[in-house]
Chain A
Amino acid sequence: MARITAGVTASHVPAIGMAVDLHKQEEAYWAPMFKGFEFSKQWMRENTPDVAIIVYNDHASYFGMEIMPTFAIGNAASYGIVDEGYGKRPIPDVQGHPQLSTHIAASLITDDFDMTVLNVLEVDHGLTVPLSLMYGAPENWPSKVIPIAVNVVMYPQPSGERCFALGKAIRDAVESFPEDLSVQVWGTGGMSHQIQGARAGLINEPWDRKFMDDLVNDPENLQFKPHLEYMVEAGSEGVELIMWLVMRGALGPKVDEVYRFYHVPASNCAVGHLILTPQEA
C-alpha cells in the first residue's frame, strides 16, 4: 500500500529560484537562507519519496483569467516549466505519476471535493522553487510529482477548513492505492509577505512563528482562522499559508517535528520551512 511518510512546507519566492539558477547561493544576501536548507537537502537524500504531492498555487503563469479553479489536480505523465515573463527556468521538466494521480483525483471527487482535472499543465515557481530548495539542481528530479493547485490569488479563496479537509482526503486516497509507494505531501507558499500597495514589504515574524507552532500542534483549531486574519496579519499574499493546512491534514492527528527554519528576507518575503513526520507511520 502507498503511505504518507512525511510532510514538508516551504516558501516559494521566485527570487530563490533565480538565485539557484544563477548560482548565487554563496552570496552574502542568500547564504544564510540556503544554509537553512542544508539539513533538509541531506534529509531528503536519505528520505527521498517515490512521489511528492506538491500543493502550490499558480501565479498567473499557466492559468489566465479565463479559468480560475479553486482546487485542481495534475494528472499528466510530465509537466513542462512555464515562462513567467523572465524566460523559462533552466531546470528539468517535472515527471508525474499518472496512475497515482488518477486514483487520487477519482478518490477526492468521490469524497465530494470537486477537483478540476488537469491533463495538461505547465508549472511555475510555486512548485519548482520548493523542488530546488529540497533537491538543489539535479539533472532530473529524484521524485515523481503530483501537483495540486489551489486558488489563493483571487478572493474568495477556499477556507482553511476546506484545505485541511482536502489534506485528510488526500491521505485516505494515498492509503487506498495498492502499490507500495512512499509519498510526501508538500505545502508551499508564505510566510508573511505583501507584494502590492503602500503596505508592501510587511513581515510579521511573531505571527509566522505562532502559525508554525499551531500547524504542528493545534491544526484542528488553526483550520478556522479566517482569510481576513491572514491578509491583515501576514500580508495580502500571506493567505497562501492556507496551502500548508492541506499538507497538515494529510499527516494525521499527531506529528513529529523533524526540522524547522525561518528567515527574513528573501526578496519581499519571510521564508518558513518545516519537515514533519506522521507519528503513526
Chain B
Amino acid sequence: MKPNFEPLKDIPGTTIFTIELGQLGFELNQFCMTLRKAENRKEFLADQRAYVDKFNMTEEQKQAVLDRDFQKMLDLGGNVYFLSKIFASDGLSYVEAVSTMTDMNVEQYKQMMLDGGRNIEGWRSKKERGEA
C-alpha cells in the first residue's frame, strides 16, 4: 500500500517522526545515542563544539544542538526520544525541555499540566487554524 504522509503534516505544532525524517536525521539521532554513556556526556559538556564535530551532521544540525533549539532539531530529523539524551545530559527533565518548544515558560507549562493539560479544541488541524 502506498504510504500517505500528507495528513500528518496538517497537525498543528507537531512534527511526526516519519521514516523519511529518520533518513534526514540519522546522524543527529546517532550522535544523541552516544550520550547514553556517562563519559561521553562529560566529554560533550566539556567541549560541545569539538564533540559535535566528531559526527557527520550538517552544520545546521550541529548549530541546533549547540543552541538547544529542539524545534529546529525536530525539523532536521531529530526525534524527541533521541533528543532527550541531550537534555538529560543538561540535567533537564522532559517537562523542562519540552516546555521550551511551546510559547510558555516552564512554570506556565507546569501549571497547564496541573490544570489538566492542553485542551485539544483549536489544535486539531492547521487548516482549521488558518495556518495552511
Contact = CB atoms under 8 A, between A and B. Distances in A.
A198 interface: yes
B25 to A, nearest CB: 8
B80 interface: yes
Nearest to A204: B120
B15 interface: yes
Contacts of A64: 29-30, 33
A66 B7 CA distance: 27
Nearest to A266: B113
B88 interface: yes
A196 B117 contact: no
B63 interface: no
Interface string B90-132: 0001110011011100000100111011111001110000000
B37 interface: yes
Contacts of B71: 197-198
Given A195-B98, A197-B74, A204-B120, A85 B114 contact: no
Contact of B94 (A15, A65, A192, A228): A15
A120 B29 CA distance: 22
Contact of A201 (B3, B26, B109): B109
Contacts of A201: 98-99, 102, 109, 112-113, 117-118
Interface stretch (A142-150, A167-175, A231-239): A231-239
Contact of A203 (B13, B38, B80, B117): B117
A84 B26 contact: no
A interface secondary structure, majority = loop
Nearest to A199: B13
Nearest to B33: A64
Given A199-B11, A200-B101, A265-B113, A156 B85 contact: no
A83 interface: yes
A231 B16 contact: yes
Contacts, number: 156
B84 A60 contact: yes
A86 B119 CA distance: 31
A239 B3 CA distance: 17
Interface in A29-75: 59-61, 64-66, 68
A59 to B, nearest CB: 4
B114 A82 contact: no
Interface in B36-50: 36-38, 41
B80 A199 contact: no
A194 interface: yes
Contact of A268 (B12, B85, B94, B116): B94
B114 A84 contact: no
B16 A14 contact: no
B19 A197 contact: no
A194 B101 CA distance: 11
Interface of B: 3, 5, 7-8, 11-19, 22, 25-26, 29-30, 32-33, 35-38, 41, 70-71, 74, 79-82, 84-85, 88-89, 93-95, 98-99, 101-103, 109, 112-114, 116-120, 123-125
Closest 4 CB pairs of A and B: A203-B117, A85-B88, A198-B13, A199-B13
